Amino acid sequence: MYMHVSELVAAAQVKQQPIYELMITQEMSVTHASRDDIWQAMGRNLDVMAAAIEKGAAGEGVHSKTGLTGGEAVLLKKYREKGHTLAGDTVMEAVQNAVATSEVNAAMGVVCATPTAGSAGTLPGVLFTLKDRLDLNRDQMIQFLFTAGAFGMIIANNAGIAGATGGCQAEVGSASAMAASAAVAIAGGTPEQSSEALAIAISNLLGLVCDPVAGLVELPCVKRNAIGVGNALIAADMALAGCTNKIPADEVIVAMDKIGKNLPDSLRETGLGGLAATPTAVRIKERIFGHHPTAQA
């Protein structure tokens, strides 16, 4: 088991193997499953991601039961078609994919939690945009997921990834870092550059709180996935350009864990603080649940 990013990077250098390959080998030894079974299982995850991206942006889109989220992936798609986006089409395609997936999640559709359901839009958001941008085939997309999983496991082994223990930095932050490191690898960067991308991506989202309005995975969760993809693409490009984070990835992960533990309860998925405590959010909560949302059901 690779416990630290530095270990994983060193192993890739010594063995002269890509990180996804190290990950598959580790998974085979841990689970005793065959390489083919592991590969197929990841392929099924990829299919779930593709289906959510398509569903969220098709027709009128999807809408959650509360009506708080939905239909905005479609708005983004129509906006992109006009060809005048400010951030450029790669970024906005990734944003559309992330929003589509997260809207499907909020509408109780099927998603692949990467690493969590609340942050499920970020990784596929980046991956399916790179598919078009870099003309990736299916095998390369599956490789991307194994690379992201390798870095994600190290984050999860050294820091909590639940909003209730670490805040949104641990969910969208982790997802963004996993996407950034895998994006570097699939674009031909070195394992060292993947590690830098991870460090930059997490550093940029440190402190992000988990403050879901009415306790629902809708506001601001869907749009936080949009910032997750933007941050991942920026961090990946910076690492590929040769920029370094100076603070190593492993230390950044520990910093995130400590920040998470220091966050007050109200900002750790209780729906009590931050945006959830604004007057509008309180009105939304009352509209949905009445005055005593946490009383006995």
Partner 1 sequence: MFDIIGPVMIGPSSSHTAGACAIGRAAHSIFKTKPTDIVIHYYDSFAKTHKGHGTDYAIISGILGFAPDDARVPYAIKLAQDAGINMTFIAEVKASPIHHPNTAIIELKNQQKSIVVAGCSIGGGTIEIREIKMDGFDIKPRGPLPILLVPGSEADHHMITKLLSKLTEVTDQKHYQAEDHNLYEYDLDRQLQHTEVQKLAADYGQLVYLQGVS
CA–CA gap between residue 277 and residue 274 (Å, rounded): 6
Pick 10 or 156: Cβ nearer partner 1: 156
Task: Record the tokens describing residue 214, joined without a space.
Answer: 């009415």
Pick 12 or 238: Cβ nearer partner 1: 12
Q: Find the shortest distance in angstroms from Cβ 112 to partner 1.
A: 5
Q: Let me know: does 127 contact 145? Beta carbons within 8 Å.
A: yes
Q: Find the shortest distance in angstroms from Cβ 198 to partner 1.
A: 14
Which helix (H) or strand (E) element contains residue 205? Answer: helix 191-205
Pick 96 or 116: Cβ nearer partner 1: 116
Q: Let me know: does 186 contact 140? Beta carbons within 8 Å.
A: yes
Site for partner 1, rule CB under 8 A: 23, 26-27, 30-33, 38, 41-42, 44-45, 48, 64, 104-118, 120, 123, 145-146, 148-149, 152-153, 156, 160-166, 170, 178, 212, 214-218, 265, 268-272, 288-289, 293-297
Q: Find the shortest distance in angstroms from Cβ 164 to partner 1.
A: 4
Pick 46 or 197: Cβ nearer partner 1: 46
- What DSSP designation does 17 have? -
Within 8 A by CB and 6+ apart from 294, the residues are none
Q: At residue 257, what is the residue type?
A: D
Pick 7 or 247: Cβ nearer partner 1: 7
- What DSSP designation does 169 have? I
Task: Record the tokens describing residue 2, joined without a space.
Answer: 């690779």
Q: Find the shortest distance in angstroms from Cβ 81 to partner 1.
A: 27
Q: Find the shortest distance in angstroms from Cβ 65 to partner 1.
A: 9
CA 196 from centre of chain: 17
